[in-house]
Structure 1
């Protein structure tokens, strides 16, 4: 196996057609968006971590979702902000590989988190009497390990397969690096990439199937029970919105990848899955989940009284 050299400098071509005014406008939007995303997710993480009443499986999984969102946004935004303020748009191969690892962990981790959260809601609504025995501390620990172990393994395998061949191209057509970008740099592609893509497609299909089956059974259980309906609207609605939002954003990214155009709209649509879900998720859960909403309101009221 002939590995590629790690001394190459790559060029991000997604911004080649952008003038300086467009770069400044998008920078002025992206920077506050990044900072606000960090603040929102960090707030939810701290509330769940320090509030003992929220140390339950649903909130533990939500905390991991927020950590994963921070992982994805931090892997994308800082480098993108540098691109917007410079005209070279260059990145070393080492940096590209690291960014690819982080972004693939985020992309796969979002599906694993949302699928585990769906199963948790299914057990809570459809099997409430057995919930605490099924979702024991050991089970929760195993699920949290799975939430991170599977994305990390998939990311490492994806990047290793992507960089195993020598490269003949030095242009990245997206605003960020991921495994497909690295694969496209190679002089050749072999069957291992197709096998990996097939494995990932099957894995993601299984995770999506878990969510769909869980919600199908939840909806059936809610038809004749007002208590279950209240649980559904209070705890399942934000999760369902987050899931559909991420699936839609991922679809936009994959569709733009197939088109391989370099227009401004293509660049915008290709980064939606990295920018919109991490921003929307904490807002949805912060507004819809009563315990978190109450804690946020308490913090704001306390800070107001201290300032008076």
Structure 2
């Protein structure tokens, strides 16, 4: 590993072209990020404190929310610091750490959404055997596998990325991601080619394949729902709708960001400034905010738990 490269300082060129839009974006990011942290912390605290929520679905939700906080915190405090101080530089080591956290966030989000889809599938298709299938032992292992495997694969990829030769030091995006780092590599660097191939494999393994599995499970769920009575249909759909909404939002955001980053179209100067921040907001700011909010509004059990603890707080326990 080349220590001279690791000591390099990179520059975010996009921030210097924002002008007065910095203040607007800062307020937007700060508002949504704080709301996301508060909503996430509230739902996590309810799941932790209320034993009635110690169920597989909410344990998986807890893991999903933690992952969302890690992903958003890997980006937005740094972005807000740049917007406040105009210091648009980042060390290469810090950049690689950000790449690792963001890639892990995306991969773990999809694996956990797939695990949650499996949980809903078992709940609907094998209701009498649900607690036998989704026992504490299996739940624990699903969380560990859904987290550790993506993290280990991403870590291996980042180790290879850290060995590429850099011929540029300016980043055209709002934060460091794998594409932005590979764009800095020398054109004849073999490591950059290998890293690009591994990145595509990772996208397929932790985005395309999980997406296919979730869609397949919901197609089967829809087929079984259509055979139910109207009342049973509504109840079944209510148990799946929070997960389905989160899955659709995150899938749209990740697919849009991935495709837009890869095709890299010719755009105007104004679009070159707006695009990185739109992609960053769409992929790493909105989904972590949506996750606790959707479950907070859609889940009767979480709403019931919230009102229970709110009454205790008002009455002074």
Report Cα offsets for 1:48-72 as digits up to 9, x if no partner: 1111111111110000010011011
Report Cα offsets for 1:151-177 as digits up to 9, x if no partner: 211321221222211211101111111
The answer to whether the 8 Å contact 2:10/2:169 transfers is yes
Give the gaps of 5 or more residues in structure 1. Answer: none
The answer to whether the 8 Å contact 1:104/1:178 transfers is yes
Counterpart-to-counterpart distance in 2, 1:3 and 1:218: 53
Report Cα offsets for 1:188-215 as digits up to 9, x if no partner: 4434224313422331222111101110
Do residues 218 (structure 1) and 228 (structure 2) align? no
Matches within 5 A, 1:76-87: 76-87=75-86
Give the gaps of 5 or more residues in structure 2. Answer: none
Q: 188, 191, 194: which one pairs with 1:192?
A: 194
From the superposition, tell whether residues 221 and 3 of structure 1 become closer, same or farther in structure 2 (CA, over 3 Å): farther
Cα distance, 1:4 vs structure 2: 6.2
Matches within 5 A, 1:232-251: 232-251=236-255
Cα distance, 1:90 vs structure 2: 0.5
Counterpart-to-counterpart distance in 2, 1:10 and 1:75: 17
Cα distance, 1:35 vs structure 2: 1.1
Q: Structure 2 length normalisation: TM-score?
A: 0.90
Task: Report the equivalent of 1:6.
Answer: 6
The answer to whether the 8 Å contact 1:41/1:282 transfers is yes
Counterpart-to-counterpart distance in 2, 1:212 and 1:96: 34
Do residues 269 (structure 1) and 278 (structure 2) align? yes
Q: 280, 283, 306: which one pairs with 1:296?
A: 306
Cα distance, 1:88 vs structure 2: 3.3
The answer to whether the 8 Å contact 1:174/1:270 transfers is no
The answer to whether the 8 Å contact 1:109/1:147 transfers is yes
Matches within 5 A, 1:1-308: 5-19=5-19, 21-188=20-187, 189-190=189-190, 191-203=193-205, 204-226=207-229, 228-257=232-261, 258-259=263-264, 263-271=272-280, 272-306=282-316
From the superposition, tell whether residues 294 and 230 of structure 1 become closer, same or farther in structure 2 (CA, over 3 Å): same
Range that drifts further, 21-30 or 279-288: 21-30
Range that drifts further, 121-130 or 262-271: 262-271
Secondary structure at the aligned position of 1:224 is classed as coil
The answer to whether the 8 Å contact 1:117/1:239 transfers is yes
The answer to whether the 8 Å contact 2:182/2:196 transfers is no
Report Cα offsets for 1:206-262 as digits up to 9, x if no partner: 211110111011111111223652343222101111001001111232243232656
Aligned pair count?
306
Counterpart-to-counterpart distance in 1, 2:95 and 2:2: 19
Secondary structure at the aligned position of 1:16 is classed as helix
